[in-house]
Amino acid sequence: MEFAIHNVTGKETGKKVKLDKDVFGVEPNEHSIYLDVKQYLANQRQGTNKVKGRGEVSYSTRKIKKQKGTGGARAGSIKSGVFVGGGRIFGPEPRDYGFKLNKKVKRLARRSALSVKAGSKDIRVMEDFTFDAPKTSAYVNLLNGLELSNKKTLLITSDVNLNVVLSARNFPKAKVAVAGSINTYDIMNANVLLICEGAIAKINDILK
Protein backbone atom coordinates (compact mmCIF):
# COMPACT_ATOMS: atom_id res chain seq x y z
CA MET A 1 0.00 0.00 0.00
CA GLU A 2 1.74 3.16 -1.24
CA PHE A 3 1.05 6.73 -0.22
CA ALA A 4 2.43 9.96 -1.69
CA ILE A 5 4.68 12.05 0.55
CA HIS A 6 3.69 15.69 1.11
CA ASN A 7 5.90 18.60 2.15
CA VAL A 8 5.23 21.20 4.84
CA THR A 9 3.09 23.27 2.45
CA GLY A 10 0.85 20.28 1.77
CA LYS A 11 2.08 19.67 -1.77
CA GLU A 12 3.17 16.27 -3.08
CA THR A 13 6.94 15.84 -3.34
CA GLY A 14 6.80 13.17 -6.05
CA LYS A 15 8.10 10.51 -3.66
CA LYS A 16 6.06 7.63 -2.27
CA VAL A 17 6.30 5.41 0.79
CA LYS A 18 5.04 1.87 1.23
CA LEU A 19 3.20 1.19 4.50
CA ASP A 20 3.71 -2.17 6.21
CA LYS A 21 0.72 -4.43 5.59
CA ASP A 22 1.18 -6.06 9.02
CA VAL A 23 0.36 -2.72 10.68
CA PHE A 24 -1.64 -0.74 8.12
CA GLY A 25 -3.21 -3.60 6.18
CA VAL A 26 -4.68 -6.07 8.66
CA GLU A 27 -8.29 -7.18 8.79
CA PRO A 28 -9.83 -4.69 11.27
CA ASN A 29 -11.04 -6.24 14.51
CA GLU A 30 -13.97 -4.05 15.49
CA HIS A 31 -14.40 -5.54 18.95
CA SER A 32 -10.81 -4.81 19.95
CA ILE A 33 -11.28 -1.21 18.75
CA TYR A 34 -14.44 -0.98 20.86
CA LEU A 35 -12.69 -2.31 23.97
CA ASP A 36 -9.67 -0.03 23.62
CA VAL A 37 -11.81 3.07 23.06
CA LYS A 38 -14.04 2.06 25.99
CA GLN A 39 -10.99 1.71 28.28
CA TYR A 40 -9.57 5.06 27.13
CA LEU A 41 -12.84 6.89 27.84
CA ALA A 42 -13.24 5.09 31.17
CA ASN A 43 -9.76 6.22 32.21
CA GLN A 44 -10.72 9.84 31.48
CA ARG A 45 -13.50 9.75 34.08
CA GLN A 46 -12.57 11.36 37.40
CA GLY A 47 -14.81 9.13 39.47
CA THR A 48 -15.08 11.76 42.23
CA ASN A 49 -18.90 11.85 42.59
CA LYS A 50 -19.86 11.68 46.25
CA VAL A 51 -23.03 12.20 48.29
CA LYS A 52 -23.71 11.81 52.00
CA GLY A 53 -25.35 8.69 53.33
CA ARG A 54 -27.53 8.51 56.44
CA GLY A 55 -24.48 8.04 58.60
CA GLU A 56 -22.90 11.28 57.33
CA VAL A 57 -25.70 13.87 57.38
CA SER A 58 -25.83 16.15 60.41
CA TYR A 59 -29.17 15.77 62.21
CA SER A 60 -30.44 14.86 65.66
CA THR A 61 -30.50 11.17 66.47
CA ARG A 62 -33.67 11.33 68.58
CA LYS A 63 -36.66 9.25 67.59
CA ILE A 64 -38.90 11.63 65.68
CA LYS A 65 -42.31 10.19 66.66
CA LYS A 66 -43.99 7.42 68.57
CA GLN A 67 -43.54 3.85 67.41
CA LYS A 68 -47.29 3.13 67.48
CA GLY A 69 -50.57 4.95 67.40
CA THR A 70 -49.82 7.57 64.77
CA GLY A 71 -51.56 5.82 61.91
CA GLY A 72 -48.38 6.07 59.79
CA ALA A 73 -45.34 3.98 59.20
CA ARG A 74 -42.63 3.60 61.87
CA ALA A 75 -39.78 6.10 61.67
CA GLY A 76 -36.70 5.94 63.86
CA SER A 77 -34.41 8.63 62.41
CA ILE A 78 -34.73 11.89 60.50
CA LYS A 79 -31.51 10.87 58.73
CA SER A 80 -33.33 8.22 56.73
CA GLY A 81 -33.28 8.64 52.98
CA VAL A 82 -37.09 8.65 52.81
CA PHE A 83 -37.14 12.12 54.41
CA VAL A 84 -36.23 15.41 52.73
CA GLY A 85 -32.68 16.29 53.76
CA GLY A 86 -31.90 12.73 54.78
CA GLY A 87 -28.97 10.69 53.54
CA ARG A 88 -28.94 9.46 49.95
CA ILE A 89 -29.79 5.79 49.53
CA PHE A 90 -27.19 3.92 47.43
CA GLY A 91 -25.62 7.19 46.29
CA PRO A 92 -22.41 7.43 44.22
CA GLU A 93 -19.06 6.95 45.93
CA PRO A 94 -15.56 7.78 44.64
CA ARG A 95 -14.39 4.98 42.36
CA ASP A 96 -11.98 4.10 39.58
CA TYR A 97 -13.79 3.38 36.31
CA GLY A 98 -10.71 1.89 34.64
CA PHE A 99 -10.43 -1.79 33.75
CA LYS A 100 -7.69 -4.14 32.59
CA LEU A 101 -7.07 -4.74 28.90
CA ASN A 102 -4.37 -7.05 27.60
CA LYS A 103 -1.46 -5.49 25.71
CA LYS A 104 -2.04 -7.77 22.71
CA VAL A 105 -5.64 -6.58 22.45
CA LYS A 106 -4.53 -2.95 22.60
CA ARG A 107 -1.91 -3.53 19.86
CA LEU A 108 -4.50 -5.29 17.71
CA ALA A 109 -6.90 -2.37 18.25
CA ARG A 110 -4.32 0.21 17.12
CA ARG A 111 -3.34 -1.88 14.09
CA SER A 112 -7.03 -2.25 13.23
CA ALA A 113 -7.66 1.50 13.59
CA LEU A 114 -4.68 2.35 11.38
CA SER A 115 -5.83 -0.21 8.82
CA VAL A 116 -9.31 1.35 8.76
CA LYS A 117 -7.77 4.77 8.00
CA ALA A 118 -5.42 3.31 5.40
CA GLY A 119 -8.23 1.39 3.72
CA SER A 120 -10.34 4.54 3.42
CA LYS A 121 -7.34 6.57 2.18
CA ASP A 122 -7.58 8.91 5.17
CA ILE A 123 -3.81 9.02 5.70
CA ARG A 124 -1.42 11.70 4.49
CA VAL A 125 2.29 10.98 4.80
CA MET A 126 4.36 14.10 5.55
CA GLU A 127 8.04 14.84 5.19
CA ASP A 128 9.71 15.25 8.57
CA PHE A 129 9.46 18.96 9.34
CA THR A 130 9.69 21.51 12.10
CA PHE A 131 8.94 25.19 12.56
CA ASP A 132 11.57 27.74 13.54
CA ALA A 133 9.15 29.17 16.08
CA PRO A 134 5.58 28.50 17.25
CA LYS A 135 3.43 30.06 14.53
CA THR A 136 -0.26 29.34 14.09
CA SER A 137 -0.13 30.69 10.53
CA ALA A 138 2.44 28.02 9.60
CA TYR A 139 0.06 25.26 10.68
CA VAL A 140 -2.79 27.02 8.88
CA ASN A 141 -0.78 26.92 5.66
CA LEU A 142 -0.09 23.22 6.18
CA LEU A 143 -3.79 22.38 6.63
CA ASN A 144 -4.86 24.64 3.78
CA GLY A 145 -2.33 23.02 1.46
CA LEU A 146 -3.78 19.61 2.31
CA GLU A 147 -7.35 20.98 2.09
CA LEU A 148 -8.04 19.76 5.63
CA SER A 149 -8.74 23.02 7.44
CA ASN A 150 -12.31 21.98 8.28
CA LYS A 151 -11.56 18.39 9.28
CA LYS A 152 -10.32 16.80 12.48
CA THR A 153 -6.69 15.80 12.05
CA LEU A 154 -4.12 13.89 14.08
CA LEU A 155 -0.48 14.66 13.28
CA ILE A 156 1.86 11.85 14.35
CA THR A 157 5.50 12.88 14.75
CA SER A 158 8.55 10.72 15.41
CA ASP A 159 9.69 12.78 18.41
CA VAL A 160 8.37 15.58 20.58
CA ASN A 161 8.36 18.78 18.52
CA LEU A 162 7.35 21.64 20.80
CA ASN A 163 7.11 24.27 18.06
CA VAL A 164 4.71 22.11 16.06
CA VAL A 165 2.61 21.33 19.14
CA LEU A 166 2.34 24.99 20.09
CA SER A 167 1.52 25.95 16.51
CA ALA A 168 -1.38 23.50 16.37
CA ARG A 169 -2.89 23.98 19.81
CA ASN A 170 -5.12 26.89 18.76
CA PHE A 171 -7.09 24.53 16.52
CA PRO A 172 -9.76 22.55 18.38
CA LYS A 173 -9.90 20.06 15.48
CA ALA A 174 -6.13 19.53 15.28
CA LYS A 175 -4.09 17.30 17.57
CA VAL A 176 -0.40 16.37 17.61
CA ALA A 177 0.93 13.13 19.11
CA VAL A 178 4.23 11.27 19.25
CA ALA A 179 4.39 7.87 17.54
CA GLY A 180 5.00 6.12 20.86
CA SER A 181 1.89 7.55 22.51
CA ILE A 182 -0.83 7.20 19.89
CA ASN A 183 -4.05 5.54 21.01
CA THR A 184 -7.02 3.99 19.27
CA TYR A 185 -9.45 6.71 20.34
CA ASP A 186 -7.40 9.54 18.81
CA ILE A 187 -6.89 7.56 15.60
CA MET A 188 -10.59 6.80 15.16
CA ASN A 189 -11.69 10.27 16.30
CA ALA A 190 -9.65 11.98 13.58
CA ASN A 191 -11.03 12.34 10.07
CA VAL A 192 -7.51 12.24 8.59
CA LEU A 193 -4.15 11.08 9.96
CA LEU A 194 -1.02 13.07 9.11
CA ILE A 195 1.95 10.78 9.66
CA CYS A 196 5.51 12.11 9.48
CA GLU A 197 7.81 9.89 7.44
CA GLY A 198 10.14 9.27 10.39
CA ALA A 199 7.22 8.17 12.59
CA ILE A 200 6.29 5.24 10.34
CA ALA A 201 9.28 3.13 11.40
CA LYS A 202 8.56 3.78 15.08
CA ILE A 203 4.90 2.83 14.68
CA ASN A 204 5.97 -0.40 12.97
CA ASP A 205 8.42 -1.22 15.78
CA ILE A 206 5.77 -0.68 18.46
CA LEU A 207 2.83 -2.46 16.84
CA LYS A 208 4.41 -5.38 15.02
DSSP secondary structure letters along 110-147: HHHHHHHHHHTT-EEEE-----SS--HHHHHHHHHHHT
pLDDT-derived band at 2 (thresholds 50, 70, 90) equals confident
For residue 51, pLDDT over 90 is answered with yes
- What count of residues does the chain have? 208
Helix (H) or strand (E) holding 198: helix 197-207
For residue 179, pLDDT over 90 is answered with yes
Q: Where are the alpha helices (DSSP H) in 25-172?
A: 30-44, 103-119, 136-146, 162-168
In the CATH scheme, what is the code of domain 2-46+100-207?
3.40.1370.10
pLDDT of residue 205: 93
Average of per-residue pLDDT across 137-148: 91
Distance spanning both ends of the chain, measured CA to CA: 17
For residue 11, pLDDT over 90 is answered with no
Domain residue spans of the chain = 2-46+100-207, 51-91
**Are the CB atoms for 164 and 196 separated by under 8 Å?**
no
For residue 9, pLDDT over 90 is answered with no
Burial classification of residue 3, based on how many CB atoms lie within 10 Å of its CB (0-12 exposed, 13-18 middle, 19 or more buried): middle
Please state the pTM of the whole predicted model: 0.84
**Are the CB atoms for 16 and 5 separated by under 8 Å?**
yes
For residue 87, pLDDT over 90 is answered with yes
